[in-house]
A and B are shown apart, each in its own frame.
Chain A
Amino acid sequence: MIAGLVGMFLLLGGSAAALAAPADSGVEGKTFVIGTDTTFAPFEFRQNGELTGIDMDLIRAIAEEQGFAVEIRSLGFNAALQALSSDQVDGVIAGMSITDERKAIYDFSEPYFESGIQMAVAKTDDAIKGYEDLKGKTVVAKTGSEGETYAKSIAGQYGFEVTSLDQSATMYESVKAGSAVAVFDDYPVLAYGVAQNNGLKTVTDKVPGGSYGFAVDKGNNSALLAAFNDGLAQLKANGEYDQILNKYLADPTAAVPTTFWELLTESFPALMKGLGNTVLVTAISFAVAMVLGLLAGFMKISHNIVLRGIATTFVNVFRGTPLLLWAFMFYFGVPQLTGQPMSIWVAGVLTLSLNSGAYVAEIVRGGIQSVDPGQLEASRSLGLGYGKSMQKVVVPQAFKMMTPSLINQLIIMLKDSSLLLAIGFTELLYQGQQIYASNFRVTETLLIVGVIYFVAIMALTKLANFADRKFNK
């Protein structure tokens, strides 16, 4: 908003000083914060860790053309719109259809992309050439999408069944596997998949649908909006616009299928970043789980019935409920109760550490109870207090017995951290999903991810056993 006001001011100032700077559009030299979705190939997605796609190429080209800078924030679709309303970002470009409802809240640019629905079949399928050939067959469409609405609207007329699935990649796999004969999906998504050699081909014409626009908050940032429209017109005129679209949507005959080795080298940086986050969230969560587990473990053996009750409840609750439920609860539920957004790292660490803490508590209790009671008595008889005796005599011995179980727990946690992909935490498996969502090489990508997990866990096991031998002699 401030940038907007300053822009307006400069605009006015500029016209007042029209002789000095006749071409001043009010955006030159400025930096605008642009919100976007996390992954919506081919409009925005990550390749080798970099945000790329039609939207990204367009906004960057327009910025360059118009002489301003952009700072892209990959927030997710809904979060980006919220950020726009609260002026945390100056504009949003996120493959967003221009609708009347949205026009009431945001100001839209000229449409920069005409979307629509299209049908595709397996590349090797020569039997299905149009809707008439679908009689008695099953097609897939994405749950809640325009493609689903359209497919259902003509299903009766042509006599086919519609099955709804959640992800584009899984829809394409099921067509290739033969469990459905065709897929109805957004034209750009489908065209991009075909361009990536996902094993499909389009056989019908695009059914025109919505147009996509760049949005600013209503009444704000009009200079930015004007610059976007101006830049878009320039790119269309000089052919750069078509180049960008072709880059993502052109016919696959142009695209050379990449080898497994190329897939590996291209996806490796993103997967390593995922692995880094997996390891980091596991390390932090395990440290927290150890603290929680030690506390609860000691409370469980305490003579105080209240402390014991608290610890037992904690253990029962977190052992008795799924990890994923807590991930959703912390990331989606708690912010709605408190009105405070929760960082995905905080939500992730809470989820993993509370779950694991319950198991660690049991390991700690078992470990301490397995130490000969004579050890505590001997220490107490020397005049050491309960705490000191535990710290110096009982716990070190208990730890030795607990170590194998704790290593086990650490490995379980590292694997469980993959569940955090459900809330969009960029860990290893999530990165894998992002990669096959844009290149459709599902099996190979999963294979690579599996090998990385396996190697990481073997390395961790070796390291932990080495530490065990070194410190627990």
Chain B
Amino acid sequence: MSEATVASPREAKIAVKGLRKSFGTNEVLKGIDVEIAEGEVVCVIGPSGSGKSTLLRCLNKLEDISAGHVIVDGFDVTDPKVDINEVRRHVGMVFQHFNLFPHMSVAENIMLAPVELKKATKAEAREQALKLLERVGLREKADARPASLSGGQKQRVAIARALAMNPGIMLFDEATSALDPEMVGEVLQVIRDLAAEGMTMVLVTHEMGFAKEIGDRVVFMDAGVVCESGPPAELFGNPQQDRTKEFLSKVL
């Protein structure tokens, strides 16, 4: 194992060190340092355009990283020798707009990765897909097309799909923002269950109540930097920074 891939001494599940990201001349992340322990649930909040999504997408290298290091499950994703596809199997991701594959059935969406990555035969993968659908309460939708599902159901399928490779980490980018209000609850319940099972999770969210309830820690980002972070009770109850106070006064 090269030096770059050695995990930090505290055995952080995710370690972000001096992360910078620019789109052309526009620097969007201006040096982020965050460590997330195994089983920890971290909620990322902040104004629109502050770089929350970009930070999340750097964790599984959907964005190229301009500078710094991101270490996930012991892999330095900035190390070109590291097989990023291997790392991504350890990290599930859920998108705001679900991004289900419309030309496949619900079960096929979930089976795609295990079958294509030769982790399971078709029969085993289907078995597992049905179990995952059971977990998100949608077993009867296994053979439906995504187009026939409601938004909440789509997002629950997307979560099941992200769980198909048994990842140790789950990333959620505004998983409930595109949903009608009456459907937010069913998705949050699935996330709550995952937290209870001890999944390491990073959630970008606008649901402050949910962040307070579920988060072990809340990170407030503004203009490409982590402005303030701490346990939800402290950050929401007694924010230290003016920018945090100003943001919270608008959203709470």
Chain A contacts to B: CB under 8 angstroms: 372, 374-375, 377-385, 388, 392-393, 396-397, 400
Contacts and interface: CB of A to CB of B under 8 A. Distances in A.
B117 interface: yes
A383 B99 contact: no
B80 to A, nearest CB: 15
14 contacts: A377-B62, A378-B100, A381-B60, A381-B162, A382-B113, A382-B161, A382-B162, A382-B164, A383-B88, A383-B113, A383-B117, A385-B85, A392-B112, A396-B103
A397 B95 CA distance: 19
Contacts, number: 59
A380 B111 CA distance: 15
B97 interface: yes
Contact of A374 (B88, B95, B116, B117): B95
B126 to A, nearest CB: 16
A100 to B, nearest CB: 74
Contacts of A377: 62, 95, 99
A378 B113 contact: no
A385 B117 CA distance: 9
Contacts of A378: 93, 95, 99-101, 158, 161
B165 interface: yes
Interface string B148-162: 000000000010011
B103 A374 contact: no
Interface string B115-144: 011000000000000000000000000000
B242 interface: no
B185 interface: no
Which label, helix, strand, loop or mixed, suits the secondary structure of the A interface? helix
Contacts of B95: 374, 377-378
Given A374-B97, A388-B116, A380 B103 contact: no
Contacts of B117: 383-384
Contacts of A388: 116
Given A374-B95, A374-B99, A388-B116, A380 B62 contact: yes
A382 to B, nearest CB: 4
Q: Please tell me the size bucket of the interface on B.
A: 20 to 34
B246 interface: no
A388 to B, nearest CB: 6
Contact of A384 (B92, B102, B113): B113
B156 to A, nearest CB: 15
Contacts of A392: 112, 116
B89 interface: yes
B105 to A, nearest CB: 12
A387 to B, nearest CB: 11
B24 to A, nearest CB: 16
A30 to B, nearest CB: 65
Contacts of B97: 374
Given A383-B165, A393-B112, 17 more contacts: A374-B95, A375-B99, A377-B95, A378-B95, A378-B161, A379-B101, A379-B112, A380-B88, A381-B60, A381-B88, A381-B91, A382-B164, A382-B165, A383-B85, A383-B117, A392-B112, A400-B103
Contacts of B116: 384, 388, 392
B49 to A, nearest CB: 19
Contact of B93 (A381, A397, A400): A381
B86 interface: yes
A379 B93 CA distance: 10
A372 B161 CA distance: 18
Interface in B50-108: 60, 62, 85-89, 91-93, 95, 97, 99-103
A397 B99 contact: no
Contact of A383 (B86, B100, B101, B103): B86
A380 B85 CA distance: 8
A380 B88 CA distance: 8
A381 to B, nearest CB: 4
B122 to A, nearest CB: 14
Nearest to A397: B103
A381 B60 CA distance: 7
Interface string B180-203: 000000000000000000000000
Query: Max chain B CB contacts within 10 Å: which of A383, A393, A396?
Result: A383
